[in-house]
Amino acid sequence: MADAKYFTTTKKGEIAELRIELRSDRRERRKEAVKKVIASMTVGKDVGSLFPDVVNCIQTDNLELKKLVYLYVLNYAKSQPDLTLMSVNTFVRDSADLNPLIRALAIRTMGCIRVDRIIEHICEPLRKCLKDEDPYVRKTAAICVAKLNDMNPSLVEDQGFLDLLKDLLADPNPMVVANSVAALSEISDCSPTAAEATKLDYATISKLLAALNECTEWGQVFILDAVAQFEPQDGQEAQSICERVVPRLAHGNAAVVLSAVKCLMKYFELIPDDSEYKDAVLNKLAPPLVTLLSAEPELQYVALRNINLIVQRKPEIMKQEIKVFFVKYNDPIYVKLEKLDIMIRLTSVENIVQVLSELKEYASEVDVDFVRKSVRAIGRCAIKVDSSAERCVRTLLDLIQTKVSYVVQEAVIVIRDIFRKYPNQYEEVIDPLCKNLDNLDEPEARASMIWIIGEYGERIDNSAEILSTFVDGFQEESTQVQLQLLTSVVKLFLKHPTDTQDLVQKVLNLATQESDNPDLRDRGYIYWRLLSTDPVAAKNVVLAEKPLISEETDLLEPAMLRELLAQIATLSSVYHKPPNSFIDGRVPLRQLKNPVLEEITAVPPELQNEDSLVPETESQTSEDVQNPSETITPQVPEDNLLGDLLSLDLSSPLVLGGMNTFDIGGSSQRTMIQSGGDLLGDLGGIMFDPVLPNLTQTTQNIQNVPMGTTDVGFDIFNQYSTPVLNPFQLILPKQVVLPAAKGKGLEVSVTFARRNKDIYMDLTLFNKALLPLKEFAIKFNKNSFALAPAGQLNIVTALQPNKSIDVSLAVNNTNPVEKMEPLNKLDVAIKTEIATHIFTCFVPYHVLFSEDGKLDPKTYLEAWKQIPDANESVCTIDTSLDSQGIIARLEANNIFNTTVKSIEGQELLYMTNKFMNNLWVLSEIKISNQFPVTSVLISMKSRTMEVVPGVFDSVRAMLAT
């Protein structure tokens, strides 16, 4: 009769009824009752209230009843620790029973009771059982040590159980050995000290290998895994281990086979190359792996993932076996995809014909994912085997003729990759591709097509027309397509400037003005700057020869591969991720979201992002993408787009220098360039925009780690601009301007710095009061340079006692002017919830120098002449720098070099700098020809002499070495 009968009950008081039965005198009835209880337990009914009655049945010599009661106790021990404690005596007594089965059962069950108070009662019986005369008890006890370690690792070490376990490695019974190995390896997995303590030597490894033949299949896996951890001294040891492991390859248990493969992969590397045995081992590896592929699909999958690693290291062992990786239509999809991957890895000139015809066959299968991957595989073949490229392209063309949407789309993507490997060949496919434009509705396929059009624009008659239809729907496209469209239009413009001006203007407009995607805006601005400043450079950048892609792009890195090969048969080998990336002892560090599938579908990044001027994948979190474009925006003339290149309007007040016709005042200037003619030549004549270096600097700094701010939630705008642009930029150390004593516990230190053309006041607020401070506000008094805070202090949370916070505050010049003494004095008020504090600080002059302080030699000369000689001041500054060093340092701080002259062995540097309030200072630095340089003579001229001493001080600080 079936156990289902235990579930049926006709009366209401089920529990009460069970209780009566449990107290019955008759053993059979008690047993039946316990069975009923267990049955209820298995379906999740709460029978915990019967605990005392069930435990009462424990004192029986009937083994089945005992087992059932134990099963019950295990289930409820956690919720009824007190009662469990009462049953402990029975366990302890049973652990000394005459019947080894009962001894083992008792020690086994005790180990499973995960109640802290029980643990102390386990130690003594466990110690006895580890030395029991019966191997069955010993092997059970070995596992019990692992259980104990799971609950209380320090206890295991303190009580010396590790040593007892190690002793068991030399046990005459192989099962005991195997279980000890298993327990030891689990313990060492979760504690490094135990790992150190359980390191095995060659003698122990020999003993383990001797036990290998006779222990269970599971034990063999444990032993082989332990052997694989061992580091042999020399090739001799390695070979003798190999010899003993090789027979395991014929075991029926796939886990044993794969663990043996793991050992062999490790040790055969250590056998000297000239040894014949090495080849012999290598030849033995392939057949068992192939045999695994005729097993159940789940086993196949794990085997395939491992084979995938092995063939990357040693493709030759599987070369002859490529046919076993041919896909059968009833394989599960995860097996199909994996087989496909390995097939491509094994593809070579010899088998390419066969592989291609298989792939073509797969492309007509039903499963969409698999079809896509097959089409992609054709592309990988083309890239891998040069001589097959032609054939692959023809196959792809055939597939495009099918007009099946997803096949065509995949084919387009693949053909793009083929062009990356074989540029300027197979152009005949472009035509059929263009005929299938309507079929492309996936971003990657559209982006690929647009890339091809951009790249081969000159060979497609209506390329501009095609792109312009794409541009019409620009807003609806995904970012990937938009980025590609932008690039391709720019490419086309550089190739066919005459008829694509409107298009390029439109697309730049869309990218920079209409889009709120920072990547897109960024790229838009970069192209735009490039085109407007130096079209030749633009051409060099945009139309640069791209590095060819190769098949290596989808191989794992050698170091990674080596690490993974050491992990064959483990989870790492299935995920193709090193163990420390997801398993740390027992606590995985981070979550992997179905990495298997991710890897299967992932295309190597090299194939995905070409043309990326802005590294898209590097360190761009959602936070920092906001910024670059925002900082750029103010400098970009609103309506000065590239379309205007022909009637070039660079009316920005920032534009200075470069062309002789410019005056210092920065009044707008129009340079008309006639349309027609050699447009690119004309573009070459377009003036140089000094903003450009800063722009590129900005983008470089995108990748820099922000410094100086510790507050993560800090205003991203500021955080962005925090990085030091140039190592030579002078940033004075913070000075305490408001000591805690004066500030009611608030200590303020301040420095100023110039970043991204704005002045920042960097403050450190230190709360030395006992209360948290909050609601910070800041205000500047009127000052000489009209400085005013551009925003408020970004302090979101209260500043806790004894904590400090770093804040950057952008500063602009919108305050009323009042001349201070000295000029750079700045009075600041900081308000907190508690009080308002006023302090004085001094703005270093150099942060006031603006970025547009460069003059051309002619203007410099005129200006120098205009300033009366009375306004000249001379000073000597000690420095050991040469002229290049001086220029580098000064230019980093916005004192710009106009020219360098060499007269009578003396070098003369002409420098200019401009204050934010349009005060100009011109200087001449004389470097004598004595060697080594110790000092330089600086003459400065300015209409406002008051600033000159301050500028001297700044220069002195900049040149200090």
**337 or 809: CB nearest another protein:** 337
- Bridge partners, residue 767, by sequence: 746
| Closest distance of CB 235 from another protein, Å | 21
Does 12 participate in binding another protein (rule CB under 8 A)?
no
Q: Please answer whether residues 482 and 616 qualify as being in contact, where contact means their C-beta atoms are separated by less than 8 angstroms.
A: no
Task: Give CA–CA dist 655/694, Å, rounded.
Answer: 13
Report the relative pairing of strands 777-780 and 735-738 from DSSP bridges. Answer: unpaired
The phi, psi pair for 538, rounded to 5°, reads -60, -45
Site for another protein in 547-576 (CB under 8 A): 569-572, 574-575
**424 or 594: CB nearest another protein:** 594
Q: Please answer whether residues 214 and 196 qualify as being in contact, where contact means their C-beta atoms are separated by less than 8 angstroms.
A: no
Cβ–Cβ contacts within 10 Å for residue 323, how many? 11
| Closest distance of CB 443 from another protein, Å | 21
What letter does residue 512 receive in the DSSP assignment? I
Task: Give CA–CA dist 411/394, Å, rounded.
Answer: 11
Over the window 700 to 739, marking each residue x when it contacts another protein by CB under 8 A and - when it does not, the resulting string is ----------------------------------------
Task: Give CA–CA dist 459/577, Å, rounded.
Answer: 44
Q: Which stretch binds another protein (CB under 8 A): 209-217, 410-418, 672-680, 739-747?
A: 209-217
Site for another protein in 894-913 (CB under 8 A): none
- The residue count of the chain comes to 961
Q: Measuring CA to CA, how many Å separate 852 from each of 368, 592, 641, 748, 848?
A: 58, 50, 22, 32, 12
Exactly one of 157, 365, 711, 827 binds another protein (CB under 8 A); that residue is 365
Task: Give CA–CA dist 523/344, Å, rounded.
Answer: 36
Q: Which stretch binds another protein (CB under 8 A): 192-200, 291-299, 457-465, 888-896?
A: 291-299
Q: Please answer whether residues 765 and 747 qualify as being in contact, where contact means their C-beta atoms are separated by less than 8 angstroms.
A: yes
Does 290 participate in binding another protein (rule CB under 8 A)?
yes
Q: Please answer whether residues 371 and 365 qualify as being in contact, where contact means their C-beta atoms are separated by less than 8 angstroms.
A: yes
Q: Which stretch binds another protein (CB under 8 A): 211-219, 489-497, 519-527, 624-632?
A: 211-219
Over the window 117 to 146, marking each residue x when it contacts another protein by CB under 8 A and - when it does not, the resulting string is -----------------xxx--xx--xx-x
**75 or 533: CB nearest another protein:** 75
Site for another protein in 236-275 (CB under 8 A): 246-248, 250-255, 257-259
Task: Give CA–CA dist 113/91, Å, rounded.
Answer: 11
**How many residues sit close enough to another protein to count as binding (CB under 8 A)?**
115
Q: Measuring CA to CA, how many Å separate 485 from each of 158, 446, 448, 543, 578?
A: 68, 9, 10, 15, 38
Exactly one of 216, 781, 850, 935 binds another protein (CB under 8 A); that residue is 216
Does 591 participate in binding another protein (rule CB under 8 A)?
yes
Q: Please answer whether residues 819 and 836 qualify as being in contact, where contact means their C-beta atoms are separated by less than 8 angstroms.
A: no
Question: DSSP letters along 152-213, please?
Answer: -HHHHHHTTHHHHHHHHTT-SSHHHHHHHHHHHHHHHHH-HHHHHHT---HHHHHHHHHHHT
Does 326 participate in binding another protein (rule CB under 8 A)?
yes
| Closest distance of CB 200 from another protein, Å | 18
Residues in Cβ contact with 37 at an 8 Å cutoff, skipping those fewer than 6 apart: 18, 22, 47, 50, 54, 72
| Closest distance of CB 199 from another protein, Å | 18
Q: Which stretch binds another protein (CB under 8 A): 358-366, 555-563, 648-656, 665-673?
A: 358-366
Site for another protein in 145-174 (CB under 8 A): 146-147, 150, 173-174
**399 or 940: CB nearest another protein:** 399
Site for another protein in 928-947 (CB under 8 A): none
Does 585 participate in binding another protein (rule CB under 8 A)?
yes
Exactly one of 10, 294, 424, 621 binds another protein (CB under 8 A); that residue is 294
Q: Which stretch binds another protein (CB under 8 A): 107-115, 263-271, 445-453, 684-692?
A: 107-115
**264 or 773: CB nearest another protein:** 264
| Closest distance of CB 24 from another protein, Å | 13
Exactly one of 277, 334, 422, 842 binds another protein (CB under 8 A); that residue is 334
Q: Which stretch binds another protein (CB under 8 A): 124-132, 283-291, 549-557, 788-796?
A: 283-291
Does 778 participate in binding another protein (rule CB under 8 A)?
no
Task: Give CA–CA dist 60/636, Å, rounded.
Answer: 91
| Closest distance of CB 40 from another protein, Å | 10
| Closest distance of CB 172 from another protein, Å | 11
* Dihedral angle over CA of 506, 510, 512, 515, nearest 10: 180
| Closest distance of CB 274 from another protein, Å | 24
Site for another protein in 34-53 (CB under 8 A): 35, 38-39, 42-43
Exactly one of 4, 559, 741, 870 binds another protein (CB under 8 A); that residue is 4
Exactly one of 196, 296, 516, 545 binds another protein (CB under 8 A); that residue is 296
Q: Which stretch binds another protein (CB under 8 A): 412-420, 591-599, 671-679, 714-722?
A: 591-599
**460 or 569: CB nearest another protein:** 569
Over the window 60 to 99, marking each residue x when it contacts another protein by CB under 8 A and - when it does not, the resulting string is --xxx--x---x------x--------------------x
**302 or 683: CB nearest another protein:** 302
Exactly one of 46, 120, 158, 214 binds another protein (CB under 8 A); that residue is 214
| Closest distance of CB 586 from another protein, Å | 4
| Closest distance of CB 53 from another protein, Å | 18
Does 192 participate in binding another protein (rule CB under 8 A)?
no
Does 360 participate in binding another protein (rule CB under 8 A)?
no
Give, in degrees to the nearest 5, the angle at Cα 835 between 830 and 840: 35
Which of 852, 778, 844, 853 minimizes the C-alpha distance to 815?
Answer: 778
Q: Which stretch binds another protein (CB under 8 A): 125-133, 152-160, 300-308, 745-753?
A: 300-308
Alpha helices in 473-546 (DSSP H): 479-495, 501-509, 518-533, 535-542
Does 190 participate in binding another protein (rule CB under 8 A)?
yes
Site for another protein in 400-429 (CB under 8 A): 402, 404
In the chain, the amino acid numbered 264 is L
Helices 202-212 and 174-190, interaxial angle, to 10°?
Answer: 130
Site for another protein in 446-475 (CB under 8 A): none
Helix (H) or strand (E) segment spanning residue 80: none
Q: Please answer whether residues 249 and 255 qualify as being in contact, where contact means their C-beta atoms are separated by less than 8 angstroms.
A: no
**261 or 430: CB nearest another protein:** 261
Task: Give CA–CA dist 857/859, Å, rounded.
Answer: 6
**69 or 731: CB nearest another protein:** 69
Exactly one of 82, 273, 328, 868 binds another protein (CB under 8 A); that residue is 328
Task: Give CA–CA dist 345/340, Å, rounded.
Answer: 9
Task: Give CA–CA dist 18/24, Å, rounded.
Answer: 10
**249 or 486: CB nearest another protein:** 249
**595 or 772: CB nearest another protein:** 595
Per DSSP (E only), the strands in 590-646 are: none
* Dihedral angle over CA of 263, 265, 270, 272, nearest 10: 130
Does 588 participate in binding another protein (rule CB under 8 A)?
yes
Each residue of 281-318: b (16+ CB within 10 Å) or e? Answer: bbebbbebbbbbbeeeeebbbbbbbbbbbbbbebeebb
